Amino acid sequence: MRKFMPQPGFVVQAYRYALDPSATTRQMMFSHCGAARASFNWAVTWVEASWWQRRAEESYGVPEDGLTHWRPWSLPALRKVFNEAKKIDPRFAGWWEENSKEAYSTGLANAAAAFDNYAKSKQGKRKGKRVGMPRRKSKHRARLACRFTTGTIRVEADRRHVTLPRLGTIRTHESTRKLERRVSNGTARILSATIRYERGRWFVSFQVEVKRELERVARPQVAVGVDLGVKVLAVMADSLGEIRCIPNPAHYDTALKTLGRMSRRVCRRQGPDRRTGQKPSKRWLKANTERNRVHHRVAHLRADALHKLTTTITSEYGTVVVEDLNVAGMLRNRRLARKIADAGFGEIRRQITYKTKRNGCRTVVASRWYPSSKTCSDCGAVKAKLPLHVRVFDCDSCPLVMDRDENAARNLAALAAACMTGTGVAGDQDARAPKPRGADRKTRVTRPSRKAEAGRAGGTRLPHQQQKETRDRTQTKALTLW
């Protein structure tokens, strides 16, 4: 799939709507998504066949010149070969004409992207975890999705129907007024549409090129620090000294009792068993649907609450400071994993990042090692240790006593002021704040041994004491920059 470059003054965004398809249309949508999965599996098998053939030939001592040629995995090459193979391949004979060509292009494009990611990851050109070889998608576990880039893709004038290639006109569960009004005014152009089955419903997402002006925030000169937590979802402290606390709705914890009761009901029914071929009973399907409905409601409530929170922040402040939290590492804590996942720390940062760009504001990302909770927001002294169960910050150098989350939010707000005044990162969008401790990792704090205390009492300084004093002077010098 080619990438669309928006024109000056235009941005590419998505409009997502729930669908209410008829039984016939629903069956056609399942067929299109199955066709995308089948073409993906064909591409993976076709490309990897040459890899295994070359490996077998190398084991027999075949020279490099005599090995089977590598099969290309670019999208144009896959399309060309697939269009010839689908007419003679028994896996597609008799039914491939029932679906739009876009369904097969979706699977081929996904396969090409998967092979590109694997190659770049193996060469060290891709960030993140190592990506393995593409694998075939299972019929039982694959996500159902199909993308349309050509053909009749439009939003009807009645604002309650959409038209897609081969699927025809489908009724939407909600009004499409926002998108239809922009398209009719000429301020938006639909680039593609993607149907997806998730959470028990069918959705359609339109990729739209929209003419959007910068939305002016209420207080562009004010910076705010956002400290995320579990007991309190977010504590916001702005540069004017105002403090706001957003309570954690804890949607999943609220629904745990209901989910437990419904899960026990599902366990008492006769469920599916792929090993023995046992099919689920109708009572199991009904109970499982009721349980899934609760899960879907929790997910929708969480998404709605996070969007309202991030929209409130980005529409009011000109600079937003967030922390670079190691969410994946935090989820390894078995005591807090459920609550951290329910809070959605990563989603909050993602939404703040793109919404500040939409409003022309600034996002400052504090370093992962920045001690926002351990630093005194009044005098700047840094505590050596501050356990998580200690919820009140009591400074050792000044009489400040404050809630630790409020203290962290104040430090983040001050970090934004330092970046704007030129002592830190030059307040650009998505700027990363410097490391005030002058280190790329946590400083190891240890208690002085008895031998060190005896040496200090006798007036002699040991080598490790001299190193500690040098490190303290370096940290103090770095902190004075703020």
Q: What's the average model confidence in pLDDT over 109-121? A: 95
Q: What's the average model confidence in pLDDT over 17-46? A: 95
Give the pLDDT score at 20.
96
Is-contact 180 157, C-beta < 8 A? yes
pLDDT at 325 over 50: yes
> Is 88 domain-assigned?
yes
- pLDDT of 55-104, one tens digit each? 999 899 888 888 889 999 999 999 999 999 988 888 887 888 899 999 99
Higher pLDDT, 5 or 64: 64
Give the pLDDT score at 65.
86
d(CA 23, CA 20): 10
Q: Residue 359: which pLDDT band, with cuts at 50, 70 and 90?
A: confident
Q: What's the average model confidence in pLDDT over 161-167? A: 95
Q: In terms of DSSP bridges, do strands 431-432 and 161-164 run parallel, antiparallel, or are they unpaired?
A: unpaired
Higher pLDDT, 438 or 88: 88
Q: Is 429 helix (H, G, I), strand (E, B) or coil?
A: coil
Looking at the structure, do residues 464 and 372 belong to the same domain, yes or no? no
Backbone φ and ψ for 55, nearest 5 degrees, come out as -65, -40
Is-contact 393 385, C-beta < 8 A? no
Give the pLDDT score at 479.
29
Looking at the structure, do residues 462 and 386 belong to the same domain, yes or no? no
Give the pLDDT score at 2.
47
Q: Residue 426: which pLDDT band, with cuts at 50, 70 and 90?
A: very low
Interacting residues of 146 by C-beta distance below 8 A, sequence separation 6+: 29, 32, 33, 35, 36, 102, 103, 106, 194, 195
Looking at the structure, do residues 261 and 201 belong to the same domain, yes or no? no
273 noted as active-site residue: no
Give the pLDDT score at 415.
86
Is-contact 225 412, C-beta < 8 A? yes
β-sheet bridge partners, residue 207: 14, 192
Q: How large a percentage of the chain has pLDDT more than 70?
A: 85
Give the pLDDT score at 471.
43
209 noted as active-site residue: no
Phi-psi region of 216 (alpha: psi -120 to 50; beta: other; left: phi over 0): beta
The total number of residues shown for the chain amounts to 482
pLDDT at 454 over 50: no
- Of the residues 102, 316, 323, 342, only one is catalytic, namely 323
Give the pLDDT score at 93.
77
pLDDT at 54 over 70: yes
Q: What's the average model confidence in pLDDT over 351-365? A: 89
Looking at the structure, do residues 40 and 1 belong to the same domain, yes or no? yes
β-sheet bridge partners, residue 205: 16, 194
Give the pLDDT score at 78.
95
Select from 213, 236, 255 the last residue of a domain. Answer: 213
Q: Residue 245: which pLDDT band, with cuts at 50, 70 and 90?
A: very high
- CA triple 466-468-472, angle to 5 deg: 120
> Is 441 domain-assigned?
no
Residue (of 91, 95, 51) closest to 71 by Cα position:
51
pTM above 0.75, yes or no: yes
Looking at the structure, do residues 247 and 395 belong to the same domain, yes or no? yes
- List the structure tokens of 1: 């799939």
User: Which range is least confidently modeled, 2-16, 81-95, 335-349?
Assistant: 2-16
Looking at the structure, do residues 134 and 229 belong to the same domain, yes or no? no
Looking at the structure, do residues 349 and 373 belong to the same domain, yes or no? yes
Interacting residues of 189 by C-beta distance below 8 A, sequence separation 6+: 183, 208, 209
Give the pLDDT score at 8.
57
d(CA 426, CA 214): 21
Q: Residue 420: which pLDDT band, with cuts at 50, 70 and 90?
A: low
Give the pLDDT score at 388.
85
> Is 59 domain-assigned?
yes
Q: Residue 320: which pLDDT band, with cuts at 50, 70 and 90?
A: very high
pLDDT at 458 over 70: no
Give the pLDDT score at 177.
95
Select from 171, 189, 213 the last residue of a domain. Answer: 213
> Is 400 domain-assigned?
yes
Give the pLDDT score at 378.
86
Q: Is 320 exposed, middle or buried (0-12, 13-18, 19+ CB in 10 A)?
A: buried
Q: What's the average model confidence in pLDDT over 410-427? A: 65
Q: What's the average model confidence in pLDDT over 213-230? A: 88
> Is 445 domain-assigned?
no
> Is 437 domain-assigned?
no
pLDDT at 1 over 50: no
Looking at the structure, do residues 192 and 223 belong to the same domain, yes or no? no
Looking at the structure, do residues 188 and 272 belong to the same domain, yes or no? no
57 noted as active-site residue: no
Looking at the structure, do residues 41 and 188 belong to the same domain, yes or no? yes
- Of the residues 180, 227, 316, 406, only one is catalytic, namely 227
- List the structure tokens of 279: 């099919």
Give the pLDDT score at 450.
45
> Is 443 domain-assigned?
no
Select from 157, 189, 213 the last residue of a domain. Answer: 213
For the chain, the domain total comes to 3
> Is 205 domain-assigned?
yes
Looking at the structure, do residues 416 and 305 belong to the same domain, yes or no? yes
Q: What's the average model confidence in pLDDT over 243-251? A: 92
Q: Residue 452: which pLDDT band, with cuts at 50, 70 and 90?
A: very low
- Of the residues 102, 209, 342, 405, only one is catalytic, namely 405
pLDDT at 126 over 60: yes
Higher pLDDT, 305 or 464: 305
Higher pLDDT, 425 or 254: 254
Looking at the structure, do residues 232 and 366 belong to the same domain, yes or no? yes
User: Residue 462: which domain range?
Assistant: 450-480
Give the pLDDT score at 64.
85
